[in-house]
Amino acid sequence: MIVYHGEVTIEDAVFNGVIQNFVGDLTINNGTFNDNITVQNAKLTINNGTFNGISLADSVDVEINGGKFYTNVRDLGFGININEEVEEEPTEEEIDVLSANPAIVYRHNEFYGGPGDDNNEPVGSIVINDGEFNGSASSIYLWDIKDATINGGTFNSHLYSAAVKAENIKIAGGLFKVTEDALFKKYAHEPLRTSVALISENIELSGGKYVNDTDGHTITIDRLNNEDTEESFEDILKEGYIYSDEISVKHYGDEEGEDLYNSNSMWYLENQEILVIPEEGEYEILDGADQEVKSGSNLIVRASGDISLFVKLLIDDKEVDRDNYELTEGSTIVTLNSSFLATLATGKHNMTFVYKNGEVETSFTINDAKNPATGDNVLLYVGLLGLSVISLLGYKLVRKAN
């Protein structure tokens, strides 16, 4: 264990034991960390580094701006929930994986008062602005805290990419993805395969991309109110924001209506992919604006919109058939085929990327000359050659007449 007393900045090191700071702020700019990190009565800031299965318990104020976070796979002694139809018992190795720690555990229920204590209030806040979080069962587990804010980052897991229970939850960005895995498909409790599980009376979504490559869900909410209905998914959107597609809302209950989790307020989205986007999106051309294109060349332009929101491409206000261009991710990359460009007139043309909630426009110019820099000179030389031939013929005729 390493214990600090005062404001500390770690630039780059390898730590295999617990780190604690009881007095001042702790800032981590880089390094490798293989155990828990605690900062009491001050702020913990993580800007970069590699973190393997860490717990941030007891830290009251946490900000994460970058870094890579991984599950530390080990048997924690938790019970395994196995579907009834599974005949084979999991091996010890499979149990280890199923009971794996998330990449980050941040919970504060140990600060709660005991039964009958009037001071039973959540504490602790975390802000995640960026970072890569890779978990087995989950990537982040933020539980029984006051405030959880996620503005960005990538969260990958096989069961649920983010599990958050807080007094206030705000998500303004980030990619939350559950990926297919045979082991977890076999043993995990299927209804829990969800991109994010959010438990709070106060949830606000103003961004984020939620993807589930399994047969699970994207967003699960429990607002701790048994009178909640499917309209709750509209209620949690920040004003001025919408879902990227029509949503399909279901309740966590079986076909007979029995609640699987003894909570009538748990609802989820069946959608396999959904984004939370502004009603009016603002996009820009990142690469390839206002190009000059030679005849016979391709044209590549990149716009800032998410490719899943792309609707169509317009050239001079007319929709371009998809056979005439390639569409690739990153954010949206359009490659116009040379054969299509050959059908356009020489000169300037407008190009418009149309998204579900907005559009962005640029232009390009087709120059038909094979060598634009010397084209005018070639014409001049041809003209001069013609005059020379005429002059020579004239000279010969004059000599013959004499």
Task: Read off the CATH number of the domain in which 299 is found.
Answer: 2.60.40.10
pTM over 0.85: no
Q: Examine the domain organization and report whether 227 and 89 are in the same domain.
A: yes
Q: Is 344 within the bounds of a domain?
A: yes
Q: Counting beta carbons within 10 angstroms of the beta carbon of residue 95, is it exposed (0 to 12), middle (13 to 18) or buried (19 or more)?
A: middle
Does residue 100 sit in the same domain as residue 212? yes
Residue 46 falls inside a structural domain: no
Residues 113-155 have pLDDT tens digits of 333 334 456 778 999 999 999 876 778 888 888 999 999 999 9
Contact predicate 157/132, CB 8 Å: no
Same domain for 197 and 90: yes
Q: 326 and 248 in one domain?
A: no
Could you tell me if 101 and 243 lie in one domain? yes
**Is 113 inside a domain boundary?**
yes
Number of domains in the chain: 2
| Domain with 354 in it | 285-367
Query: Whole-angstrom Cα distance, residue 164 to residue 199?
Result: 6
Same-domain status, 97 and 187:
yes
Tell me the pLDDT of the chain (402 aa) as tens digits.
788 888 999 999 898 888 888 788 999 999 998 888 888 778 999 999 998 877 887 788 899 999 998 875 433 333 333 333 444 555 555 544 444 456 777 765 443 333 333 445 677 899 999 999 987 677 888 888 899 999 999 998 877 889 899 999 999 999 999 886 534 444 444 446 788 999 998 999 999 999 998 877 899 888 776 666 667 899 999 999 999 999 988 877 644 444 444 455 678 888 999 999 999 999 999 999 999 998 778 999 999 999 999 999 999 999 999 999 999 998 999 999 999 999 999 999 999 999 999 999 999 999 875 434 334 444 444 444 454 444 555 545 445 454
Q: Greatest CA span in the chain, whole angstroms?
A: 131
End-to-end CA distance of the chain: 115
Same domain for 309 and 224? Answer: no
Pair (164, 57) in one structural domain: yes
Quick one: 304 and 273 in the same domain?
no
Q: Kindly state whether residue 385 falls inside one of the protein's structural domains.
A: no
Per-residue model confidence (pLDDT) at position 18: 84
362 lies in the same domain as 231: no
The verdict on 228 and 300 lying in the same domain is no
**Is there a single domain that holds both residue 270 and residue 159?**
yes
